[in-house]
Structures are given as structure tokens and as C-alpha cells.
Amino acid sequence: MDKNRIANEILSMSMCGSKEITMISFVVFVTLILFCGVFMTKVGSRLEAKVPAFNYLGGEDVIEKLKEVSGVEKDIQLADVFGVPKNTIATWRKRGLIPYELLLRASLHFGADLRSLSLGEGELFPYGDFSESRLRVPFKKLMKGALKEVGSFNLDNSQVELLDVEPEKLEVIRDSDLILIIDTSDSNVASGRYLFDIDGVYTINQAQRLPGKNLSIDFNGTAMQISEEEIKTLGRVVMSMAKE
């Protein structure tokens, strides 16, 4: 037998076998893909939520709800009420995001219905007795000697009664991590913490009356004697709440 012819036949058989092997591998690969697809579909069906997700308000809609419940009109005011950067609110609006924690905080603080806040369904304040048990007073922020009004603050009427003050004369001021309730009807300094206007700069300090219409006012641990006529007393701190 011709050696060259035998070699050619062996090579031809080898090439044919390679094609068969390649075809078998392709069929096995496709079968595995189809099997995995069916398996994942079955697994996915078992993971379907029994409690489906709600269609929450987001972006502009939820921002307007938060403004409504907190009694403000502008983004900067809303940012001050909840202590978030103004550009964060802009991001919610641009991307249609949902600030879940703020919705819960607003519901707990203002007594608003969570379903109305988060879904836009029903009345925002469905419980009439809640609003009757709350007193809404001006809410301001003290920063760098300036007082800026940021909206309103709800006080519990039972707490206000314990203060023994005129409710309509109260206002709430946020000073750094402190929330201070001010009685604006009490401008006669005796001893305590007061809100002062010193040449147009607002400050809250511990003060003590001295003889001769003078006041001893504490400025960061240093007591200074000032004539009562040199400053304006705007009210006394009757309650404070500190952020931990």
C-alpha cells in the first residue's frame, strides 16, 4: 500500500473527527444554556414577592408633600427643617428619588398620615384630634448672629400648659444642636438664658441682673457687665432639647 495514500486517509479521518467533536461540543453548550434558562426561571418564580412594592411618590411630588406637612414653601426652608443640604433636595427632584427616612420622620413628628405622605392617598391629617392637641409656633434658625425663619414647629399642648406661658408668645429656635423654646413675652431679665439683640446681632446667653440696670452676660464662659439700655432682650428660654 502507498504510504502517502495511507497518511492522507488518516489525516482526512482526523479532520472529520474534529468536526464531529466540535459539533457535539456546540450541541452540549446550547443544551446547558437552555437548561440554565429554565432553571433560573423556576427559581425566579419562587422569589416573586408575596407583598408587592408600592408605587411611592418621588422627586417633585414627595418634596411638595414634605413642604406641605412642615409648613414651608422653599427648598432652603425644607432643608433647614430636616437638617439636610439644599443640593440633596435638588438631587431628589432631578433623579426622582424617595427620601424614605424623612417621610417616616415627618409622619412621627407632625402626625401626618404615612400613606398620604408616601403614596399621595387620602388626607394628610386624617385625625382631627391630633391637630387640636398640637400648637404650631414659628420656627427659626440661629446662625452666625442672624435669625432666619424656616417654617413652623409643632408643640404638644400638654407640654405648653406645664410651661405656664402664653402660647401665642412662643417661638422655637434651633441653635446648633439645641432646640430652644422662647417665651417672647418675657423681656425683663432676672436670671436665666435669654435671647438678645446686640447691635443687630442675635445671641442666646446666660444672664443675671445686677444693680443699677446692669446685666452680667456670659459669653463662652466669660462674664461681661453690660448696661440694660445697650441691648435688647427678645425673650427667655423656657425649655431646651439637645440632640445627642
CATH 1.10.10.60 fits 53-132, yes or no: no
Strands, DSSP E only, in 118-242? 134-143, 146-156, 170-175, 178-183, 191-198, 201-210, 214-219, 222-227, 232-242
* CATH number given to 135-244: 2.10.109.10
In this structure, of 11-20, 75-84, 107-116, the range with the lowest mean pLDDT score is 11-20
CA–CA distance, 53 with 63 (Å, rounded to integer) = 20
Tell me, rounded to whole angstroms, the distance of Cα 109 from its chain centroid: 12
Selection from 206, 199, 195 nearest residue 230 by Cα = 199
* The pLDDT of residue 21 is above 90: no
Position 31 scores a pLDDT of: 56
Position 231 scores a pLDDT of: 95
Position 113 scores a pLDDT of: 83
pLDDT tens-place string over residues 40-76: 555 554 567 777 788 888 889 989 989 888 888 889 9
Position 229 scores a pLDDT of: 92
What percent of the chain is modeled with pLDDT above 90? 34
Dihedrals phi, psi of 85, to nearest 5 degrees: -65, 145
3-state helix, strand, coil in the chain (%, to 5): 45, 30, 25
Residue type, 181: I
CA–CA distance, 98 with 94 (Å, rounded to integer) = 11
What percent of the chain is modeled with pLDDT above 70? 77
pLDDT tens-place string over residues 90-114: 998 988 888 888 888 888 887 788 8
**Dihedral sign from CA coordinates of 91, 145, 237, 220:** positive
Position 207 scores a pLDDT of: 97
pTM: 0.52
